[in-house]
Amino acid sequence: MGEMSMSRSDAGLGALLDLGFERFITLSVIKVVYILGMAVIGLVYLGMIIASFTQGVMAAIGAIIVGALVAVLYLIFFRIWLELIVVMFRIGENTSKLVQQAGGTPAGSETSSELGAVGGDG
């Protein structure tokens, strides 16, 4: 649990300057991206409703009903897309942890001689 809290506190500016890409910032900024996405979808929906009132009452009612369905669908697909990104990063983190627990070296820390030795076994 100590590693988890340490990695979350390192997810700020230090993670942005990590040139070895050993720490991921995606999991810490994904919540902000989701909130921004919800705000954009909501603003587009609101703008569509306001614009539809210039076309008449029936257009406005249609925009309210159809627009709500479209906004919810966009929000669902946006959430699924973000969850897929989180899953990929969690798989990478968990794989690195498993390699470390097994006594191996995590990806990116092999030397060129070790890579040549692995390739020569086949």
- Residue 3: which pLDDT band, with cuts at 50, 70 and 90? very low
Please give, one letter per residue, the 3-state secondary structure of 63-96.
Answer: HHHHHHHHHHHHHHHHHHHHHHHHHHHHHHHHHH
**pLDDT, tens digit (0-9, with 9 covering 90-100), for 36-46:** 999 999 999 99
Query: Tokens 């470390």 identify what position?
Result: 100
Q: What's residue 17's pLDDT?
A: 78
Rounded to 5 degrees, φ, ψ at 95 are -65, -40
Q: What is the mean predicted confidence (pLDDT) over 111-115?
A: 50
Q: Where does the chain have alpha helices with state H? A: 2-9, 13-16, 26-52, 57-101, 112-119
**pLDDT, tens digit (0-9, with 9 covering 90-100), for 44-68:** 999 999 999 999 999 999 999 999 9
Residues 15, 64: Cα–Cα separation, whole Å: 43
- Residue 93: which pLDDT band, with cuts at 50, 70 and 90? confident
Nearest to 22 by CA among 95, 116, 83, 106: 106
- List the single range of 11-15, 23-27, 47-51, 77-81 with lowest mean pLDDT: 11-15
Residues 59, 40: Cα–Cα separation, whole Å: 22
